[in-house]
Amino acid sequence: MVKQKYLALPVVVMFLVGSVYAWSMFVPSLKHEYGLTASQTQLVFGAIIGTFTLSMLFSNRLQRVFSARGMYIASALFFCAGYLIASFSEGNFSIIFLGIGVFSGIGTGLSYMTSISLPVKWFPQKKGFITGLAASGFAAGSIVLTIWAGWLLNKGTGVLVIFRIIALFYGAFIFAIAFLLPRSSDKFSPQNKPLKIQKALLLFLAMFMGTFAGLLVIGNIKLMGAGGYTNNQLSLAIILFSIANLSGRLFWGWISDYKPVFGLLFIALMAQGVATLAIGLYELPFLLFSLFIFLIGVGFGSNFVLFAYETAQLFGVANLGRIYPVIFLGYGLAGIAGPVTGGALFDATGNFRLASIISLLVSVFGVVLFGLHVLKTRKGINYSSVKI
């Protein structure tokens, strides 16, 4: 039987690949040193999220062939290759896009679903808390990288050199962790029950709308506060978002084992939407700005626990690896739409007012769609008997 000592392994892998949320740290350097536009930097960030979620679609079948160990090895190779390619790009947008946006995105996706499925498989009686714990690793990674990258940038280390360091260190750690997994528990049984993709459509759309605002903010924090706060304050805001994202995943994961998911998501997304509107419309004192950033992070983190929990509840733990990647595509779509919308509207208007209004509306629609999903599923739909 797998004991708690192995639980740290997928959490650490999530910690390493979760560095994607520190992307905003690199945006000013890429803009000022290499001439990338705000839209281009957000296209790279959006591509990471997009390719990461698309690769998850294939991860369940690949896990059956190559095991969790094989998935982590492949993840390490793609992740390392992506950042290495970008580090030798000399600031060329297309090469950075290919390296970090595509290759590292694939590496992230190959390990993400494995890192969610393993802990839930090991501890099915605590789906909410365990999912939250695994997902919290993804949020924690950006905290460390933000601090570390900020320190290196302040010392004059070039952004492309930092990409090379990430490639070598992070890739090596993921590769090493692959060989620490217990052989007795890294296999995934084939799923024989057919599942119907249409039944997950509302969850897919709600996932898109639930993550849109948070992704828009995390991809553009340094631009959103560029006129009124110092560089150190904005770095602190990124760290604060990451801490809130981490705390939110743990909190929502714990409480979802005891409280209805819809009520929790309603609170989370409304807080996220209103806080995004506030920082987009008003010039706020840094303390208030930080408070709203924290609320956005907590609300954003709820998506990665509550949607996984709802999927496991309705489709069964055994089918989580098949269905959740389909729903998670909503996050991938939001990863492109959110940051790019924010960057494009900033390029066009010089501010984030319109983007923040759109973010609030999208968050509200996310709540509505999830409510419709709840109404449908509570009328006796048997999800385990339909086809995909």
- Whether residue 180 contacts residue 55, with contact meaning beta carbons closer than 8 Å, is answered with no
Mean pLDDT of 163-176: 92
pLDDT at 184: 53
CATH of 4-385, one of 3.40.50.1470, 3.40.50.300, 1.20.1250.20, 3.90.1280.10: 1.20.1250.20
Q: At 172, is the pLDDT very low, low, confident or very high (cuts 50, 70, 90)?
A: very high
Q: What is the DSSP string of 279-336?
A: HHH----HHHHHHHHHHHHHHHHHHHHHHHHHHHHHH-GGGHHHHHHHHHHHHHHHHH
Q: What is the token pair recorded at 108?
A: 């992230």
| In the chain, where the domains are located | 4-385
Mean pLDDT computed over every residue of the chain: 81
Mean pLDDT of 144-155: 86
pLDDT at 379: 58
Q: Indicate the DSSP class of residue 91.
A: T
Return left, alpha or beta for 380; rule: phi > 0 is left, psi -120 to 50 is alpha, else beta.
Answer: left
* pLDDT higher at 94 or 242: 94
* pLDDT higher at 361 or 60: 361
Mean pLDDT of 148-170: 90
Please state the pTM of the whole predicted model. 0.73
Mean pLDDT of 101-108: 92
pLDDT at 236: 84
pLDDT digit string (tens) for 118-143? 877 777 777 677 777 777 787 788 78
* pLDDT higher at 6 or 362: 362
Most confident of 1-15, 157-171, 184-198, 318-332: 157-171
Q: What is the DSSP string of 214-247?
A: HHHHHHHHHHHTTTTS-HHHHHHHHHHHHHHHHH
pLDDT digit string (tens) for 347-386? 888 778 888 899 889 999 888 888 887 777 665 444 333 3
pLDDT at 197: 59
Q: What is the token pair recorded at 26?
A: 């690199």
